[in-house]
Chain A
Amino acid sequence: MKQSEINEEFIRHIALISRIELTDEQISRFGKQFADILSYVDMLKELDTDGVEPMAHALDISNVLADDKAGESLSVEKALANAPARLGNLYKVPKVIGESQ
């Protein structure tokens, strides 16, 4: 990523795919901070990592499986207790499909 590519459009795009609405002030401030951080992490390019196995986590374990039997789980009441809005046993959300669709 070149510094010059970190423009307003770039920040707006990242904000959109991050699902975070930004103010104009944030776009300009985050843009500068992003450029700074990305130029910093670029130092990793100096390292030769050809043939190095990526390390996703620190443990030597994979595919931890549970027995296939039903255990205790949250009751519907408990699961819905923190919902911003509910309708009976369902999460209630605003209408999200516009007329034009």
Chain B
Amino acid sequence: MSKIIELSALELRDAIATGEVSATEATRSYLDAIESLNPKICAYNQVFTEEALQRAEQIDKKRSAGEQLGLLAGLPLAIKDNICTSFGLTTCSSRILDNFRSPYDATVVEKLIEADAIILGKTNMDEFAMGSSTENSAFGITRNPWDTSRVPGGSSGGSAAAVAGRMCVAALGSDTGGSIRQPAAFCGVVGLKPTYGRVSRYGLVAYGSSLDQIGPITRDVKDAALLLEVIAGHDARDSTSVDEPVPNYLAALDDSINKRLRVGIVKEFQHDSIDQEVIDALEKAIEIFDKAGAEIIEVSLPHSRIDIDSAGRITSYAIACYYLIATSEASSNLARYDGVHYGRRTSQKVNDIIELYSKTRAEGFGDEVKRRIMLGTYALSAGYYDAYYLKALKVRRLIKNDFDAAFEKCDVLLCPTAPELAFPIGQKTDDPLKMYLSDVFTIGANLAGIPGISIPVGLSKSNLPLAVQLLANVFDEQTLLQAARVLEQTIGLGQLKPELIEDA
């Protein structure tokens, strides 16, 4: 049998169920991997060594007692640090929450524990999920296991780097504008953002409430289906979680697709500004679907059109729309950090209540969070609301209508995940707008509420992961996963593995 940390979640689960590997052995293997690699990668904010081993022992006892095991029995997982756990800290990689202990578990955490999973730790992220590189963390920059001078993407960079670096078998992230899919692409793993409302957001620290969604980051498509099956479902504690039945996503992957798959290629996403290797990867994926017998259809998303301006920047209505809506929602959501109820409070002397708030927030938030709160506050302020926030909501409708029309003609859309490969640390930190442009292909799914998945399709000349993205209509994760599986199987790469792991 291959090394424990090389097994997929499904393989490991089955090995644990048959007794070939114990949950304790699996947990120890991952804890060892974390010990040797995490100092280099900085994927975790916190590791629950003792608790994880105790949990593993419980699972092993449960198995030897012949009790029924959960769907994820014995699987060592990592959780992004904006998902509340009643154990350890939940920091959102922010100074303002650096000592915050959640009084409750997020619904997804309850579900993982109910399914007998083992939580190894909490992963690093861009502060409050605001960023595309995991450089905006108060606790250090996460590095890409494929090239430690490069970013892992973001904001779920810690989760993606932990999965790619074999420091957990799978992880949860959150995706507001691409924060699961883009880091998955940069790290050579699979990242799935479910339909808005598919997974409960109860206990996910809010950033952009109409866009946020929790989803899995895994080594392969089957593992993504397995995790989604566990975390999906209606939750009365999240009024935006939808009461739709949860299909057996994993079993559905073995069903052959009973109709000819229609794969849509977005006309407006073809542009010179995109990295040539990203375009080549997309071409390769198109060819694979074509050979697999899918029908390839050109579709149009006019309001997601990309272009280039005189300053050489990618332009996209979707980006403009997203950054107004996300920041507006953020300015409202993050008003709760007031230095009174929980989180950090300034120790400076204050003369009035505004100073208490303003000094607390100045000390607690990093620059990007400050910028986004301010941008959102401005977009919602008297006199500008109609011109910015309301206008963005109307454009959002136009963008959504385009997707609706596209899904009349096709089952899935195929496009790049990001316009570039993992970029060098520090390359975009001085230019926030440039950083935003990394989300150009992912934000549409958040605005429209549809599911999307990033799948690795190979390596670049410089040995960095290449990926493509598939998008599907609302609540059609089944077709999305089936199409992703077709791609994955045909490419036949198996799990991509960074060299660093051999050195460790």
Q: Does A70 contact B (CB under 8 A)?
A: no
Q: Does B501 contact A (CB under 8 A)?
A: no
A43's partner among B320, B339, B398 (CB-CB below 8 A) is: B320
Q: Which residues, 318 to 367 on B, are CB-close (under 8 Å) to A?
A: 319-321, 323-324, 331, 335, 338-345, 350-359, 361-362, 365, 367
Interface centre among A22, A45, A49 (most CB of B within 10 A): A49
Q: Does A17 contact B (CB under 8 A)?
A: yes
Contact across chains for A19 and B361 when beta carbons are under 8 A apart = yes
Q: How far is it, in angstroms, between the C-alpha of A59 and the C-alpha of B303 when the chains are bound?
A: 20
Contacts of A26 in B (CB 8 A): 367, 370
Measured CB to CB, the closest approach of chain B to A59, in angstroms, equals 5
Measured CB to CB, the closest approach of chain A to B168, in angstroms, equals 27
Known interface pairs A21-B362, A56-B393, A82-B343; A96-B449 also in contact (CB < 8 Å): no
Task: Report A40-74 CB contacts with B as 1/0, cut-off 8 Å.
Answer: 11111101010011111111010010100000001
Q: Does B46 contact A (CB under 8 A)?
A: no
Q: How far is it, in angstroms, between the C-alpha of A54 and the C-alpha of B351 when the chains are bound?
A: 42
Task: Report A3-42 CB contacts with B as 1/0, cut-off 8 Å.
Answer: 0000000010011111111100010001001101100111
> Residue of B at shortest CB range from A82?
B342
Q: How far is it, in angstroms, between the C-alpha of A21 and the C-alpha of B400 when the chains are bound?
A: 38
A-B pairs with beta carbons under 8 A, tally:
166
A55's partner among B331, B371, B396 (CB-CB below 8 A) is: B396
A49's partner among B374, B395, B432 (CB-CB below 8 A) is: B395
Contacts of A36 in B (CB 8 A): 431, 433
Q: How far is it, in angstroms, between the C-alpha of A1 and the C-alpha of B317 when the chains are bound?
A: 18
Contact across chains for A94 and B317 when beta carbons are under 8 A apart = no
Q: How far is it, in angstroms, between the C-alpha of A11 and the C-alpha of B335 when the chains are bound?
A: 18
Q: Which label, helix, strand, loop or mixed, suits the secondary structure of the A interface?
A: loop
Contact across chains for A59 and B197 when beta carbons are under 8 A apart = yes
Q: How far is it, in angstroms, between the C-alpha of A20 and the C-alpha of B375 when the chains are bound?
A: 12
> How many residues of chain B have a CB within 8 Å of chain A?
74
Known interface pairs A40-B433, A41-B320; A20-B397 also in contact (CB < 8 Å): no
Contacts of B375 in A (CB 8 A): 34, 37
Q: Does B288 contact A (CB under 8 A)?
A: no
Q: Does A93 contact B (CB under 8 A)?
A: yes
B101's partner among A22, A82, A96 (CB-CB below 8 A) is: A82
> Residue of A at shortest CB range from B399?
A55
Interface-side segment among B64-72, B131-139, B384-392, B418-426: B384-392
Contact across chains for A19 and B397 when beta carbons are under 8 A apart = no
Known interface pairs A20-B361, A54-B393, A55-B400; A96-B352 also in contact (CB < 8 Å): yes
Contacts of B393 in A (CB 8 A): 54-56
> Residue of A at shortest CB range from B373?
A18
Q: Does B218 contact A (CB under 8 A)?
A: no
Known interface pairs A40-B433, A43-B320, A49-B394; A19-B357 also in contact (CB < 8 Å): yes
Known interface pairs A59-B242, A74-B104, A98-B351; A17-B433 also in contact (CB < 8 Å): no
Q: Does A78 contact B (CB under 8 A)?
A: yes
Q: How far is it, in angstroms, between the C-alpha of A79 and the C-alpha of B103 when the chains are bound?
A: 7
| Contact sample, A vs B, 29 pairs, CB 8 Å cutoff | A18-B373, A18-B377, A21-B358, A26-B370, A33-B433, A37-B323, A40-B315, A40-B320, A41-B320, A44-B320, A44-B324, A49-B394, A52-B397, A53-B397, A54-B397, A57-B196, A58-B196, A58-B400, A58-B449, A58-B450, A58-B474, A61-B240, A81-B103, A82-B100, A82-B101, A83-B341, A93-B356, A94-B356, A98-B351
Given A18-B377, A61-B240, 15 other A-B residues pairs in contact with their CB atoms under 8 A? A19-B357, A20-B362, A20-B365, A21-B362, A30-B367, A37-B432, A41-B323, A43-B315, A43-B320, A53-B394, A64-B240, A85-B345, A96-B356, A97-B352, A98-B352
